[in-house]
Amino acid sequence: MYLITDRTLFADVLCLYSAVEEALKGGAKAVQLREKDLPVRQLLTMAYTMRRLTSDYHAALYINDRVDVAIAVEADGVHLGLNSVPVSAAKKASGDRLLVGVSTHSFSEAVKAEKDGTDFITFGPVYPTPSKLRYGPPVGTDALREVCSGVTVPVFAIGGITPERTAEVKSAGARGVAVISALLGAHDREKTTERFLRYLQ
């Protein structure tokens, strides 16, 4: 399970840290720091805190888009959008130390990301979700199945994923799920994480 941050869901950043730690206690093993609007200094401060948190729970940390920040805080990887630096540039800048993920929204984008050398992709939005409205209507599980069968890199389903939908995306071939509000907005994040993991097993 791949947790993606969104500090706008909370009153302040300390509440976000607490929410992430609850998910880590529940067994989350990967966190992506995704705060696109932050100036780099603030992002770097958050990244150091997230690195300490994820290290305490033996979880991976990915930084959205900023290869320099990922290198500085010794993150495990970086997650790139379609308008980010190329996969090859991210790998070269980090001396091939960083794992690189790419956000994709169509079969052609997924195939290109694999050809470019990505280590994994997120694909979606699979289901309707407010955070992904700008990417258009949900792609659905048929498109997810096509992508999962058309690439060899791990595919993480994203967009409207709930614990109850996890079995469906897994049966379509997804290696795992990437979640934002379904976990960060949960009343009990530790137990919700455990539920996600039970459905994934």
Catalytic residues: 34, 103, 132
Residues with Cβ < 8 Å from 139, sequence gap 6 or more? 105, 106, 123, 124, 125, 126, 159
Q: From CA 71, how far away is CA 83, in angstroms rounded?
A: 20
Q: From CA 143, how far away is CA 109, in angstroms rounded?
A: 12
Cβ–Cβ < 8 Å for 179, 160 = no
Which 3 state secondary structure label does DSSP give 155? Answer: strand
The whole-angstrom distance between residue 65's C-alpha and the CA centroid of its chain comes to 12
Q: Residue type for 95, please?
A: G
